[in-house]
Amino acid sequence: MSYLIRSVRAEEWPAVRELRLLALRDPVAHLAFLETYEQGLARPDTFWQERTAGAAEGSDRAQQIVAEGPDGELVGTLTVLIEEAGTKDWAGFPVEQRQGHVVGVFVRPEYRGIGLTEVLFDAGLEWAWSRGLERVRLIVHEDNGRARTFYGRAGFVPSGVVVPLGGDSGGRELEYVLERT
């Protein structure tokens, strides 16, 4: 089978919504995503339209990379956000340098283990490097072993930055980084 790895198009917001809702039902979604299935399901169409357009082909601030299967179905995704130096990130930490931030990594379970995550990351990193970024980071829950193992294989290393999670969980998110070589 062949897969097309490309940037999402703004008009594909219904497929983006479907893929995200599937991701939010994954058994490790509580470790991987900062929203629940119920929250995602409750969002209006305008949210999905704006979210998709903001990271679609041609955007300079973010890029959602998708894997399209032979039948046209979106089977995997990741998004690279550009964070500007001097701003604060999602957790309130200062951003010290202009960098990429990988979020929303997901491949449909039936397509895992065939290399799609690797090629999604390759495309996302290529997009980041083409924007002049010298560093890309991601945040991963300390208990998400599957993701941490993959990120290590992809060249990301722990930076030492730890984001404590609020609430009763007591869990932590760990920053992993990849410097451009």
pLDDT of residue 90: 84
Measured CA to CA, the distance from residue 128 to residue 122 in angstroms comes to: 10
Q: Which residues contact 87 (CB under 8 A, 6 or more apart)?
A: 94, 95
Structure tokens given for 138:
């991601």
Over residues 28-38, mean pLDDT? 91
- In the prediction, which pLDDT does 168 show? 59
What pTM, to 2 d.p., does this model score? 0.94
User: Ranked by mean pLDDT, which of 26-30, 44-48, 87-91 comes out on top?
Assistant: 44-48
Query: H helices within 8-134, ranges in order?
Result: 13-23, 29-32, 37-42, 45-54, 116-130
Percentage of residues of the chain with pLDDT beyond 70? 97
Q: Provide the phi-psi class of 86: left if phi over 0, else alpha when psi is between -120 and 50, else beta.
A: left
Q: Tell me, what's the pLDDT at 149? A: 94
**pLDDT at residue 171 above 90?**
no
Region 12-41 average pLDDT: 95
How far is the CA of 108 from the CAs of 33, 58, 76, 84, in angstroms? Answer: 15, 25, 6, 31
Distances (CA, A) of 19 to 27, 47, 169: 15, 15, 27
Phi-psi region of 69 (alpha: psi -120 to 50; beta: other; left: phi over 0): beta
User: What pLDDT, on a 0 to 100 scale, did the predictor assign at position 34?
Assistant: 86
34-52 average pLDDT score = 96
Is the pLDDT at 166 greater than 80? The verdict is no
Chain segment 85-134, per-residue pLDDT in tens = 999 998 888 999 999 999 999 999 999 999 999 999 999 999 999 999 99
Mean of the per-residue pLDDT values for the chain? 94
Per the structure block, which two tokens stand in for 34?
A: 């900062």
Q: Give the ranges where 70-167 is alpha helix by DSSP (H).
A: 116-130, 145-153
Residue 177 CB: number of other CB atoms within 10 A? 18
**Is the confidence at residue 162, as pLDDT, over 70?**
yes
Per residue in 126-161, pLDDT (tens digit) is 999 999 999 999 999 999 998 999 999 999 999 999
